[in-house]
Chain A
Amino acid sequence: MNEKIHVKTKINDDYVEFLCEARQSLLEVLRDVLDMTGTKEGCNDGNCGACTVILDGRIVDSCLVLAVEVSGKEIITIEGVANVDKLHPIQQAFLEQAALQCGICTPGFIVASKALLDRESNVDEGRIRHWLAGNLCRCTGYDKIVRAVMAAQENTKI
Chain B
Amino acid sequence: MIRKLDDKGISKANYKVIGTRPIRHDGLDKVTGQAKYSADINLPGMLYGKVLRSPHAHARIRNIDAGKALALKGVSAVITSADFSIQSDKVIDLGEGAMVNTGFLSQNVMAKEKVLYKGHAVAAVAAESMHLAEEALALIDVDYDVLSPVFDVREAMKPGAPLLHERLYHSSTPFIRPGGLKDDSDNSPGSNIASHFVFELGNPKNAFAEADIIVEREFQTKPVHQGYIEPHAATAIWNRDGKATLWCSSQGQFTMRDQSAVLLGIATSNIRVIPLEIGGGFGGKTLVYLEPIALLLAKKAGRPVKVTMSRKEVFEGTGPTSGSFMRVKLGANNDGKLVAAEGVLAYEAGAFPGSPVNPGVQCMFASYDLKDVRVEGYDVVVNKQKVAAYRAPGSPGSCFAVETVIDELAEKLNIDPLELREKNGAKEGTRRVSGPVFGKIGYLETIKIAKSHPHYIEPIKRNAGSKVRGRGIASGFWFNGSGPACAIANVHSDGTVSLIEGSPDIGGSRAMAAMCVAEVLGLAAEDVHPSVGDTDSIGYTSNTGGSSVAFKTGWASYEAAQDIKRQLIERAARIWDVDPGQVEMDNGTLNEKSGTRRQFTFKNLAAVLLSTGGPIVGKAAVDPAGVGGAFALHIADVEVDPETGKVDVIRYTAFQDVGTAVHPSYVEGQIQGGVAQGIGWALNEEYVFSEDGTMLNSSFLDYRMPTSLDLPMIEAVIVEVPNPGHPFGVRGVGEVPIVPPMAAIANAVYDAIGVRIRRLPINPPTVLEAIWAKDGSGRG
Q: Do A and B bind each other?
A: yes
Residues of A near any B CB (own CB < 8 A):
1, 21, 23-24, 28, 31-32, 35-45, 47-48, 50, 77-79, 81-82, 87, 91, 94-98, 100-107, 110, 125, 128-130, 132-146
Question: Is B665 engaged at the interface, CB distance under 8 Å to the other chain?
Answer: yes
Q: Which of B40, B700, B711 contacts A142 (CB 8 A)?
A: B711
Q: Which of B130, B506, B663, B709 contacts A130 (CB 8 A)?
A: B709
Q: Which of B21, B230, B668, B708 contacts A102 (CB 8 A)?
A: B230
Known: A38-B32, A42-B231. A98 touches B277 (CB 8 A): no
Question: Is B774 engaged at the interface, CB distance under 8 Å to the other chain?
Answer: no
- Give bound CA distance, A110 to B706, whole Å: 19
A45 proximity list for chain B (CB < 8 A): 311, 699-701
| Interface contact A138-B229, CB-CB below 8 Å | yes
Q: Which of A38, A50, A91, A139 contacts B673 (CB 8 A)?
A: A139
Cβ distance B671 to chain A, nearest Cβ, rounded Å: 8
**Chain B, Cβ-Cβ closest to A111:** B33
Residues of B near any A CB (own CB < 8 A):
21, 23-24, 26-28, 30-37, 39-40, 42, 73-74, 128, 130-132, 226-231, 277-282, 310-311, 506-508, 663, 665-666, 668-670, 672-673, 675-677, 699-701, 705-709, 711, 713-714
Cβ distance A41 to chain B, nearest Cβ, rounded Å: 6
| Interface contact A144-B669, CB-CB below 8 Å | yes
**Chain B, Cβ-Cβ closest to A147:** B713
| Interface contact B33-A37, CB-CB below 8 Å | yes
| Interface contact A98-B21, CB-CB below 8 Å | yes
**Chain A, Cβ-Cβ closest to B28:** A95
- Give bound CA distance, A28 to B227, whole Å: 22
Q: Which of A42, A97, A139 contacts B507 (CB 8 A)?
A: A139
| Interface contact B700-A37, CB-CB below 8 Å | no
Cβ distance A107 to chain B, nearest Cβ, rounded Å: 5
Q: Which of B132, B229, B675 contacts A104 (CB 8 A)?
A: B229
| Interface contact B31-A94, CB-CB below 8 Å | yes
| Interface contact B701-A138, CB-CB below 8 Å | no
Q: Which of B31, B227, B707 contacts A133 (CB 8 A)?
A: B707
| Interface contact B229-A136, CB-CB below 8 Å | yes
Q: Which of B31, B39, B506, B672 contacts A106 (CB 8 A)?
A: B31
Q: Which of A82, A94, A133, A141 contacts B675 (CB 8 A)?
A: A141
Known: A47-B699, A50-B229. A104 touches B709 (CB 8 A): no
What 5 new A-B contacts, CB under 8 Å, besides A102-B228, A142-B708? A31-B40, A44-B310, A48-B700, A101-B506, A143-B713
B279 proximity list for chain A (CB < 8 A): 40, 42, 102-105
Q: How many residue pairs at the A-B interface have CB separations less than 8 Å?
A: 185
- Give bound CA distance, A142 to B706, whole Å: 9
- Give bound CA distance, A143 to B42, whole Å: 34
Q: Main secondary structure on chain A at its contact with chain B?
A: loop
- Give bound CA distance, A79 to B31, whole Å: 9
**Chain B, Cβ-Cβ closest to A105:** B229
B36 proximity list for chain A (CB < 8 A): 37
Per CB-CB distance, the 10 closest pairs between chain A and chain B, nearest first, are: A38-B33, A104-B279, A141-B676, A103-B30, A101-B507, A98-B665, A78-B33, A47-B700, A141-B672, A37-B40
B506 proximity list for chain A (CB < 8 A): 101-102, 139
| Interface contact B714-A107, CB-CB below 8 Å | no
| Interface contact B21-A35, CB-CB below 8 Å | no
Can you list 7 A-B contacts with CB-CB less than 8 angstroms, sorted by A residue number? A40-B229, A42-B231, A42-B700, A87-B28, A101-B506, A103-B277, A141-B711
**Chain B, Cβ-Cβ closest to A128:** B708
B713 proximity list for chain A (CB < 8 A): 125, 143, 146
Q: Which of A40, A87, A144 contacts B665 (CB 8 A)?
A: A144
| Interface contact A135-B28, CB-CB below 8 Å | no
- Give bound CA distance, A94 to B508, whole Å: 13
Cβ distance B319 to chain A, nearest Cβ, rounded Å: 15
For A28, A42, A128, A142, the residue with the greatest tally of chain B CB atoms inside 10 Å of its CB is A142
Known: A42-B229, A101-B506. A146 touches B708 (CB 8 A): yes
A130 proximity list for chain B (CB < 8 A): 709
Q: Which of B24, B32, B74, B508 contacts A79 (CB 8 A)?
A: B32
| Interface contact A98-B508, CB-CB below 8 Å | yes
Known: A95-B24, A103-B279. A136 touches B705 (CB 8 A): yes
- Give bound CA distance, A1 to B35, whole Å: 33
| Interface contact B507-A136, CB-CB below 8 Å | no
- Give bound CA distance, A81 to B31, whole Å: 9
A43 proximity list for chain B (CB < 8 A): 311, 699-700
- Give bound CA distance, A42 to B280, whole Å: 11
A48 proximity list for chain B (CB < 8 A): 229, 311, 700
**Chain A, Cβ-Cβ closest to B665:** A98
Known: A37-B33, A102-B278. A143 touches B700 (CB 8 A): no
Cβ distance B717 to chain A, nearest Cβ, rounded Å: 13
For A21, A38, A146, the residue with the greatest tally of chain B CB atoms inside 10 Å of its CB is A38
Q: Which of B32, B310, B508, B669 contacts A81 (CB 8 A)?
A: B32
Q: Which of A97, A102, A133, A135 contacts B280 (CB 8 A)?
A: A102
Known: A47-B699, A95-B28. A104 touches B708 (CB 8 A): no
Q: Which of B34, B230, B672, B708 contacts A38 (CB 8 A)?
A: B34
- Give bound CA distance, A39 to B40, whole Å: 10
- Give bound CA distance, A21 to B135, whole Å: 15
B21 proximity list for chain A (CB < 8 A): 98
| Interface contact B708-A100, CB-CB below 8 Å | no
For A35, A42, A95, the residue with the greatest tally of chain B CB atoms inside 10 Å of its CB is A42
Cβ distance A99 to chain B, nearest Cβ, rounded Å: 9
Cβ distance B563 to chain A, nearest Cβ, rounded Å: 30
- Give bound CA distance, A48 to B701, whole Å: 8
Cβ distance A25 to chain B, nearest Cβ, rounded Å: 11
B709 proximity list for chain A (CB < 8 A): 129-130, 133
| Interface contact A40-B280, CB-CB below 8 Å | no
| Interface contact A143-B28, CB-CB below 8 Å | no
- Give bound CA distance, A155 to B277, whole Å: 29
| Interface contact A87-B31, CB-CB below 8 Å | yes
Q: Which of B24, B37, B132, B676 contacts A40 (CB 8 A)?
A: B37
- Give bound CA distance, A45 to B313, whole Å: 13
For B228, B279, B665, B676, the residue with the greatest tally of chain A CB atoms inside 10 Å of its CB is B279
For A28, A39, A143, the residue with the greatest tally of chain B CB atoms inside 10 Å of its CB is A143
For A82, A132, A136, the residue with the greatest tally of chain B CB atoms inside 10 Å of its CB is A136
Q: Which of B42, B128, B673 contacts A140 (CB 8 A)?
A: B673
B701 proximity list for chain A (CB < 8 A): 45, 47
A50 proximity list for chain B (CB < 8 A): 229
Cβ distance A3 to chain B, nearest Cβ, rounded Å: 14
- Give bound CA distance, A107 to B213, whole Å: 55
**Chain B, Cβ-Cβ closest to A28:** B130
- Give bound CA distance, A102 to B279, whole Å: 5
Cβ distance A8 to chain B, nearest Cβ, rounded Å: 22
- Give bound CA distance, A141 to B278, whole Å: 18
| Interface contact B280-A139, CB-CB below 8 Å | yes
Cβ distance B370 to chain A, nearest Cβ, rounded Å: 32
Q: Which of B73, B665, B670, B708 contacts A145 (CB 8 A)?
A: B708
- Give bound CA distance, A100 to B310, whole Å: 23
| Interface contact B672-A143, CB-CB below 8 Å | yes
| Interface contact A82-B32, CB-CB below 8 Å | yes
Known: A38-B34, A78-B32, A87-B32. A135 touches B277 (CB 8 A): no
| Interface contact B33-A39, CB-CB below 8 Å | yes
**Chain A, Cβ-Cβ closest to B679:** A141
